Amino acid sequence: MHVLIVLAHPERNSFNGGLVDVAVTQLMEAGHSVEVNDLYSDQFDPVECVQHYSHHDVDADYFYPLNQQRDHYQQGTLPQDVQRELERLERVDLVIFQFPLWWHAQPAILKGWFDRVLVYGGRYSSRMRYDRGYFRGKMAMLSVTAGSPEKAFQPFGRAGNMAQWLWPIHSSLYYVGFDVLAPQVNYGIQGGGIRYQEEAAMLRHLEACKETWVSRLMSIGSEQPIPFTGWNDWDSEGVLRQTSPMRWRLA
Ligand SMILES: Cc1cc2nc3c(=O)[nH]c(=O)nc-3n(C[C@H](O)[C@H](O)[C@H](O)COP(=O)(O)O)c2cc1C
């Protein structure tokens, strides 16, 4: 497989950066090719705005991002950084997004990567999405660290519900057609000042997280994706059909 790891962390020597390093080593040992896309070191600009579009009619008094993305995609004039990211995605069998949970979501640089790179008219449209999405046949997964301990993420716990926090990202990846693998979540990764544990216990915890990650990566290519509803499950208004197998799963 060809694996792309998209890293969204401002410090390359962070634990998140370390998870990238062990993933690269393990995946290459297993015979895969790996590319790392470090958004901060590339200074990826996450802000979708008119300045990215060289051919935008500057006299126009309304900037409509969807139209700009579609038109520039069709004319082959997308911003260079977006074009580069799209070329990277063409090569992949699996994309891993590595990031810390910040305010119950991905860091802004990664949110902006979705805003700018998943181009309307090129990578999705009303007819090309979900199980008819552009990237179908390719896999994606999230590798996330969170500061709060795992127990605090239990239902109605202090840290909230991890499945809910990750749902918008999973849903977006599925929207553009990816098979989404279950996330790899490392809890209790306290970064800088906040400490729930003494130092030695913390270091043991970090090492254990790396080992779990490495052993999961050994067979990552054969994992089954998270089940999502698809076009056959919805009626013309997008409502889940009574006959959908997913309805029985949720019941
Ligand atoms: C801006 C910011 C927001 C954060 N929000 C959360 C949060 O919502 N939930 C949580 O459990 N941890 C939160 N944290 C803690 C980080 O998830 C934690 O520091 C990180 O996973 C540690 O990984 P690192 O050592 O690679 O930075 C936040 C940290 C920062 C800097």
Buried b (16+ CB within 10 A) or exposed e, 197-216: eeeeeeeebbeebbeebbeb
Q: Would you say residue 239 lies in a domain?
A: no
Containing domain of residue 44, as a range? 2-226
CATH number for position 142: 3.40.50.360
Q: Would you say residue 236 lies in a domain?
A: no
Q: How confident is the model at residue 198, as a pLDDT? A: 83
CB atoms within 10 A of CB 85: 22
Spacing, Cα 7 to ligand 1 middle (Å): 15
Q: Would you say residue 241 lies in a domain?
A: no
d(CA 158, CA 83): 41
What's the pLDDT tens digit per position in 160-200? 999 999 999 999 999 999 999 999 999 999 876 666 668 88
d(CA 173, CA 139): 9
Pocket of ligand 1 (CB under 6 A): 9, 14-16, 100-104, 145-148, 159, 189, 191
What's the pLDDT tens digit per position in 65-88? 999 999 999 999 999 999 999 999
Where would I find the beta strands (DSSP E) of 14-138?
33-38, 94-100
Q: Which of 101, 145, 207 should be mutated for ligand 1, with most atoms under 8 A from CB? A: 101
Q: Which of these ranges, 22-26, 67-71, 190-194, 232-236, has the smallest mean pLDDT?
A: 190-194
Q: Would you say residue 28 lies in a domain?
A: yes
Q: Would you say residue 171 lies in a domain?
A: yes
Helix axes 15-29, 199-217, angle to 10 degrees: 30
Q: How confident is the model at residue 57, as a pLDDT? A: 60
Which residues are paired to 98 by β-bridges?
A: 7, 143
Q: Would you say residue 250 lies in a domain?
A: no
Q: Which residues contact 228 (CB under 8 A, 6 or more apart)?
A: 130, 131, 174, 180
Number of domains composing the chain = 1
Q: Would you say residue 234 lies in a domain?
A: no
Q: Would you say residue 96 lies in a domain?
A: yes
